[in-house]
Structure 1
Amino acid sequence: MVYYKLNYERDGIELYFEGESPSDKLVYEMRKVKLLYNHKKDCWFTKQWNREGVEFIKNYCKEKEPQTTTTFESIPKKRYCYADTIANFKKEDEDSFMEKMKTNFKGYGLKLSDEQIDAWRDSYRVLEEISLDPNINIIFEYVLPYEGGRRPDTLLLSKERVVVLEFKMKKTAKQLEADIDQVSGYARDLIGYHYETREKEVTPILVLTQFKNLNEKINNVKCVSGDLLQNTLDNIYTENINSTSLEKWIKSKYEPLPTIIDAARIFYKNEELPNIRRVNSTCIPQALENLKELSDYARENKKHTIAFVTGVPGSGKTFLGLEYVYGMETNHAVYLSGNKALIDVLTDALKSKAFVKNLHKIIGQYIDDEADDFNNNVIVFDEGQRAWNKKQMFKRHRKNLSEPDVMIKLCEEHLNWCVLLILVGEGQEINTGENSGIKLWDEAIKKGTKDWEILCPPNLYSCFGDQTLIENIDNSSFNLTISLRSHLSGCVSDFVNYFIDGDMKNASKLSDNIFTKGYNMYCTRNLESAKSYCRKVYKDSNKKYGLIASSKDEILRNYGMNNSFNATKGYAKWFNSSSDDPNSCCALNKVLTEFGVQGLELDMPIIGWETDMIWKNNKWDISSWNQEGETYRRNAYRVLLTRGRDGFIVFVPNERKLDPVYDILKEVGVKELN
């Protein structure tokens, strides 16, 4: 029996083969229209936006009446400790409430501490005294799906709004940054990722239960003492309150962007990604369709084609490249990267060396006449702007060829057709021999023996003025301008670019909006304060935070950040180990440099500022022998400052020559961490 189900929770359609297995030919056809196999549910799946795939499923099932499912794989158990109306909550005595909380908490697989129990009792006693409309729903310890166990203390839910309450048993209103950012982060993620919250007003409130007479607004968070919580809620609920479906809200789609490591795990298992609204709202889905069209064109017409996708840091270039390669119906596709850190981290995470191939090894095999079996018609070249020039290649291989020269020759000699996709990051050349950019690819194509055809975004037209450009395939989606790494659009990338370029006036214009949207930018001269902040904000979650710094080590090692060459290795364990592992980034005892984090990401990096780039006479004074070296230093800090998903903390050592750096950070709106 063959049938399909519409999965409304995941905005997709599922194809089931009950009692039979699809033939190899059918499997080929399904993969061709981008259906993915879900091992857990034993079905084939695609998103509703994949119209070709949806039409294929419906036609194959001959338009049988679909069955529906409301299951949501990310919520196999209760994702809350208590959920009910205010009316019923008011009927709960403390012992009954605590018993329900403890029973449901067991499903989280976490150790229940005495501190947590005391916190529940404390919040119960505060809320018991609060008068609210009985139709409001109240939820305790709601686990945010895909977020590694992050849980707001309490949520108040109505048709019109969600109020996020975070309770702290504090007797002082000092050093609240971590607490404020914690509740602000919950609100930000509900607004950005939680489908049933999309039309509601979200209000974050930090409640200091042991304090008196506090009522302030810091950033976008209301900070109140327990005795003034009633007044605060009365001011929020000033109009008629309408009830909403508690079950529907709890089972809502939740659409966060996975880290590149998590996405790679999903691609590797040939499973579908969670529905990612922010990805679907960018150019990436259209770019994938256009690349598929280019693949068909090149294969059917035996053409050698090269495509370029440009993008700001964190815009999803690697994500696009991986999905393109692992969504192809052919096995003759490969993802090549010269980024050792990315290769090591993904190889360790997946326990496989096949997922991402080492570009330099492929280059070496060709030069040594050992690439006879190369048969990958679809090739993704990661970080094409960092391709080695002739000088760097001669130093390594004793050949007067650039890496683009070798790739063009490899494709021409071994393939009767190809799509060579070059992913180009903006302003991320960080090593010697990587600064020739797109020019090397233009030169290599001109020296080629095949009639190469080029598909590139309009911003690269001037680089290939006398080349054959493909005009019948849409190229408008090939410049990715929206950063997906952070929780807002390109504001963070723009801020960093202005800052690194010395345009402090324009940088300062962006900082307030960045903070308002929940992206936290701090600076401090106390490394322990930065560490304490991260441990507090990300307690009991699998969020990643760690120490990163410039590779030009001079003084940081004197302040607890050893960024010397020998001390900054071991990328894989740093990213992939659990937070309690001494090798983990979360242990905060080991540093990675720009070479270890480029192409990867953290939720909150602590960035050590070195003396290789100081602010002097209203401009950056950069330690370098030449202009090229200066560009590498600027780009190193550009990479470091754009690794964070939730924000960043800049640690500036207490050295006189770095005083102006600390001052200019505060001047452009980076807030001082107390």
Structure 2
Amino acid sequence: MSTDRAYYSSSIEGFLSASPDSVLGEVTRSSGFAIELTQRDAWLRQIAVLREHLTLWSGQGHLFFEFVVPRMGRRIDVLVIIKHAVFVIEFKVGESKFNRSALDQVWDYALDLKNFHEPSHTITIAPVLIATEAHDVLSTVAESHHNDGVLFPIKASPASLRKCIETVLSVGEGPIIDPLLWVSGRYKPTPTIVEAASALYDQHSVADLSRSDAGAKNLLVTSVAVDQLIERAKTERRKAICFVTGVPGAGKTLVGLDVATKHMDAKSELHSVYLSGNGPLVKILCEALARDEVARKKTEGVRLRVGETRKAVQAFIQNVHHFRDAYLADQRAPIDHVVIFDEAQRAWTLEQTTQFMARKKGRANFNRSEPDFLISCMDRHMDWAVVVCLVGGGQEINTGEAGISEWIDAIQRHYPDWDLHISPHLADSEYAAVDALDALKTRPSVHFNEDLHLAVSMRSFRAEHVSSFVKHLLDREKTLARAALDSIRQRYPIVVTRDLPKAKQWLKSQARGSERYGIVVSSQAERLKPHAINVRSPMDPVHWFLDNKDDVRSSYYLEDVATEFHVQGLELDWACVVWDADLRSGTTGWHHRQFVGNKWQNINKAERQTYLKNAYRVLLTRARQGMVIVVPTGDLEDPTREPSFYDPIFEYLRGVGLAVL
């Protein structure tokens, strides 16, 4: 029989007693699409192998064909439950070799179950890759050093499958798994932003992508709250601005993409566009969605060109500066009634915008900040409009970024008829909007809504409080930092070292399957060149984030490095943060430096000191599963890299409790 999770589901006994044609028929009917002969023959080969080698466990387990992995949008060829173990089996029909990408694929499936499927947290999971033309192959059966019950991928030939199962069952032990309870268990995914965007673009709901715990409920509640205020503005013919706040990695971008992908129809009055000033994020999302759509359609027999698909994606995900320039030239109202501005705190100040307009656009008389101008574009609508501002705290990292107060000031000065829907947490210190909020006390139509705050980080499914640790670390609150570290260290390893090669090896040893890892550094880290790290060397964030292990431009090669500007809003599984002498530890706090010419200079402006500190906040909160921090030893013969610049940083990090690698 089929289930919602698989094309075919049966006890092993039932599978063995059924004819191969009846099993194939059930799998084919459940697929819902026309089956090519190559796929039919592949399924028949798999059925034959399993019928031959599962006889020993008739009455002792269960089998699923084409078992769905929700977060990844893929299906496991065969999943078999026998006694206390789950076997994730991927077949490569007609092949005799075991390539790395195939091994990573089956490992990814096993890890996804282990990390996000609740009943799989405490059981043995064996990823098995079978090359049907291989002979007498059975690789070593062993658990990885993470000791979480996921075995290293097992390479097997068809003839060795029985021996593989016997060996796995002898390695681990545990209670007998109830297949029906197991398959009905809660699946609580924590997708990357790229995975989430792809799923939303494929018309999944935000609920499908969320964990079923308090954090996920908060995400769903926030998405619903935004939907409701949009519907209210449309029904009552009002104009409104909404501020959604959240801790780093809580899912603000996910909420914005959820709104935008619900209303991609350009003919709909609710047509929405997602805008971001984060150029790398926009490029990466557009390219990822285009590639994914082409691959998805290919499985359905439809051929698409990436270029054509990319244009469709760009209709609802755009760079905010492109949107601004379009409506600078076109004085009509935008086609969109709803505009979502991600990282709204990074919009430009009046000074930055006017200078840019005079220098680049030849508009010497332009006198609006970027928030003011963007709101004015939506104000051109005669009936209704909604601006959704997604706001991160402590995320301003570049000169000329206005923070959120400029949005509120613009609304106060020029748009008296607009409604405001505000997260109460906008008053928290990291949003730097307290004075602006005070001015709203006498304004009508200001609504504070707790549902507009995302309190729980979803970036790290291993430890939700990494952002708290990083905040205390950077705020020099050593006692609080130690306490936060103690709460996360069991599930989220953070280590520090003076040795970059050792750190690279640590990354590679920690990552399993296609888990992404890479090196991130501050854009001010100018004296890492002796370590082959040049922050001025051009890198392509699309290749760095999206390409696989065999591409030298990818993060996996650990050659190109990303700065805070490349990685803000994105994430890695494992990160190496190399800490230069731009942010130094002193007895009274941080010392802020920039490298100019051939020497370090003090950064004296408080604003620029904040940008540098926030740069490290971004770098230290990129990893989903763990990170290594490298503090170079320096060089006594190089006055720009004196050990005295680096040693106090290392001692401070060790002093808050980080383990030394």
Task: State how far apart, in whole Å, the 1-side matches of 2:344 and 2:510 are.
Answer: 37
Q: 2:395 pairs with 421, 428, 431, which one?
A: 428
Establish whether residue 394 from structure 1 lines up as the match of residue 354 from structure 2: yes
Shift of 1:40: 7.8
Task: State how far apart, in whole Å, the 1-side matches of 2:96 and 2:180 are.
Answer: 24
Establish whether residue 592 from structure 1 lines up as the match of residue 546 from structure 2: no
* Change over 3 Å in CA distance of 1:469–1:593 after alignment to 2: farther
Counterpart residue number, 2:281: 342
Counterpart residue number, 2:620: 641
The CA deviation string for residues 505-539 of structure 1, in whole angstroms up to 9 with x for no partner, is 210111122012x1111112221222222223324
Aligned partners of 2:575 and 2:627 also within 8 Å? yes
Q: 2:419 pairs with 446, 453, 478, which one?
A: 453
Q: 1:512 pairs with 486, 497, 509, which one?
A: 486
Shift of 1:450: 4.7
* Change over 3 Å in CA distance of 1:107–1:281 after alignment to 2: farther
Letter in 2 for 1:283: N
Counterpart residue number, 2:237: 302
* Change over 3 Å in CA distance of 1:611–1:455 after alignment to 2: same
Task: State how far apart, in whole Å, the 2-side matches of 1:108 and 1:551 are.
Answer: 49
The 5 A counterparts of 1:144-183 are: 147=108, 150=111, 162=123, 180-181=145-146, 183=147
Shift of 1:83: 4.5
Q: Matched residue pairs, number?
A: 510
Counterpart residue number, 1:24: none
Counterpart residue number, 2:497: 524
Counterpart residue number, 1:277: 211
What RMSD, in angstroms, separates the aligned Cα atoms of the two structures?
4.0
Task: State how far apart, in whole Å, the 2-side matches of 1:600 and 1:161 are.
Answer: 30
Counterpart residue number, 1:73: 68
Name whichever structure is richer in helix by fraction: 2
Establish whether residue 555 from structure 1 lines up as the match of residue 527 from structure 2: yes
Establish whether residue 477 from structure 1 lines up as the match of residue 451 from structure 2: yes
Shift of 1:554: 2.1
The 5 A counterparts of 1:247-258 are: 248-249=181-182, 254-258=187-191
Task: State how far apart, in whole Å, the 2-side matches of 1:593 and 1:142 are.
Answer: 29
Shift of 1:294: 0.7
Shift of 1:380: 0.4
Task: State how far apart, in whole Å, the 2-side matches of 1:336 and 1:454 are.
Answer: 20
Counterpart residue number, 1:317: 252
Shift of 1:148: 5.6
Aligned partners of 1:606 and 1:648 also within 8 Å? yes
Shift of 1:487: 1.7
Counterpart residue number, 1:45: none
Q: 1:615 pairs with 567, 585, 594, which one?
A: 585
The 5 A counterparts of 1:284-295 are: 284-295=219-230
Shift of 1:618: 4.7
Counterpart residue number, 1:85: 83
The CA deviation string for residues 90-149 of structure 1, in whole angstroms up to 9 with x for no partner, is xxxxxxxxxx99x865479995389x99xxxxxxxxxxxxxxxxxxxxxxx9957xx466
* Change over 3 Å in CA distance of 1:552–1:285 after alignment to 2: same
Establish whether residue 579 from structure 1 lines up as the match of residue 513 from structure 2: no
Shift of 1:599: 0.6
* Change over 3 Å in CA distance of 1:142–1:466 after alignment to 2: closer
Task: State how far apart, in whole Å, the 2-side matches of 1:343 and 1:659 are.
Answer: 38
Aligned partners of 2:110 and 2:125 also within 8 Å? no
Shift of 1:561: 1.7
Task: State how far apart, in whole Å, the 1-side matches of 2:94 and 2:629 are.
Answer: 34
Q: 1:112 pairs with 98, 107, 110, which one?
A: 98
Task: State how far apart, in whole Å, the 2-side matches of 1:574 and 1:403 are.
Answer: 30
Letter in 2 for 1:497: K
Letter in 2 for 1:364: D
Helix, strand or coil at the partner of 2:245: strand
Give the TM-score taking structure 1 as reference length: 0.68
Letter in 2 for 1:481: A
Task: State how far apart, in whole Å, the 2-side matches of 1:281 and 1:375 are.
Answer: 32
Counterpart residue number, 1:129: none
Q: 1:413 pairs with 366, 369, 380, which one?
A: 380
Helix, strand or coil at the partner of 1:546: strand
* Change over 3 Å in CA distance of 1:321–1:509 after alignment to 2: same
The CA deviation string for residues 152-194 of structure 1, in whole angstroms up to 9 with x for no partner, is 99xxx9999636799xx99xxxxxxx9544x34xx6xxxxxxx
* Change over 3 Å in CA distance of 1:150–1:287 after alignment to 2: closer
Task: State how far apart, in whole Å, the 1-side matches of 2:120 and 2:572 are.
Answer: 35
Aligned partners of 1:332 and 1:377 also within 8 Å? yes
Query: What residue ranges of structure 2 are gaps of 5+ in the alignment?
Result: 7-29, 34-63, 128-138, 153-168, 291-309, 359-365, 428-433, 594-602, 635-642
Task: State how far apart, in whole Å, the 2-side matches of 1:205 and 1:587 are.
Answer: 25
Aligned partners of 2:350 and 2:367 also within 8 Å? yes
Counterpart residue number, 1:632: 611
Letter in 1 for 2:98: L
Aligned partners of 2:523 and 2:563 also within 8 Å? yes
Aligned partners of 1:483 and 1:490 also within 8 Å? yes
* Change over 3 Å in CA distance of 1:393–1:160 after alignment to 2: closer
Task: State how far apart, in whole Å, the 2-side matches of 1:255 and 1:109 are.
Answer: 34
* Change over 3 Å in CA distance of 1:179–1:556 after alignment to 2: farther
The 5 A counterparts of 1:353-368 are: 353-367=314-328
* Change over 3 Å in CA distance of 1:278–1:504 after alignment to 2: farther
Helix, strand or coil at the partner of 1:291: helix
Task: State how far apart, in whole Å, the 1-side matches of 2:109 and 2:220 are.
Answer: 27
Establish whether residue 267 from structure 1 lines up as the match of residue 200 from structure 2: yes
Task: State how far apart, in whole Å, the 2-side matches of 1:327 and 1:7 are.
Answer: 27
Task: State how far apart, in whole Å, the 2-side matches of 1:276 and 1:110 are.
Answer: 39
Aligned partners of 1:9 and 1:253 also within 8 Å? no
Counterpart residue number, 2:573: 603
Helix, strand or coil at the partner of 1:599: coil
Letter in 2 for 1:599: G
* Change over 3 Å in CA distance of 1:537–1:626 after alignment to 2: same
Give the TM-score taking structure 2 as reference length: 0.69
Q: 1:498 pairs with 472, 493, 498, which one?
A: 472
* Change over 3 Å in CA distance of 1:477–1:602 after alignment to 2: same
* Change over 3 Å in CA distance of 1:501–1:151 after alignment to 2: closer
Establish whether residue 487 from structure 1 lines up as the match of residue 458 from structure 2: no
Aligned partners of 2:84 and 2:124 also within 8 Å? no
Letter in 1 for 2:279: K
Task: State how far apart, in whole Å, the 2-side matches of 1:521 and 1:632 are.
Answer: 24
The 5 A counterparts of 1:211-222 are: none
The CA deviation string for residues 442-479 of structure 1, in whole angstroms up to 9 with x for no partner, is 211122245011011123365434444657x7711111
After the TM superposition, which of the residue ranges 350-359 and 306-315 deviates more from structure 2?
350-359
Aligned partners of 2:280 and 2:542 also within 8 Å? yes
Shift of 1:252: 5.0
Aligned partners of 1:498 and 1:506 also within 8 Å? yes
Counterpart residue number, 1:47: none
* Change over 3 Å in CA distance of 1:646–1:110 after alignment to 2: farther
Task: State how far apart, in whole Å, the 1-side matches of 2:350 and 2:486 are.
Answer: 45
* Change over 3 Å in CA distance of 1:594–1:512 after alignment to 2: same
Aligned partners of 1:152 and 1:165 also within 8 Å? no
* Change over 3 Å in CA distance of 1:158–1:254 after alignment to 2: closer
* Change over 3 Å in CA distance of 1:643–1:474 after alignment to 2: same
Query: What residue ranges of structure 1 are gaps of 5+ in the alignment?
Result: 1-5, 11-38, 43-68, 90-99, 118-140, 171-177, 188-203, 207-228
Letter in 2 for 1:514: I
Helix, strand or coil at the partner of 2:604: coil
Counterpart residue number, 1:137: none
Aligned partners of 1:268 and 1:355 also within 8 Å? no
* Change over 3 Å in CA distance of 1:547–1:275 after alignment to 2: closer
Task: State how far apart, in whole Å, the 1-side matches of 2:65 and 2:210 are.
Answer: 18
The CA deviation string for residues 469-497 of structure 1, in whole angstroms up to 9 with x for no partner, is 657x7711111121100125541111000
Shift of 1:256: 1.9
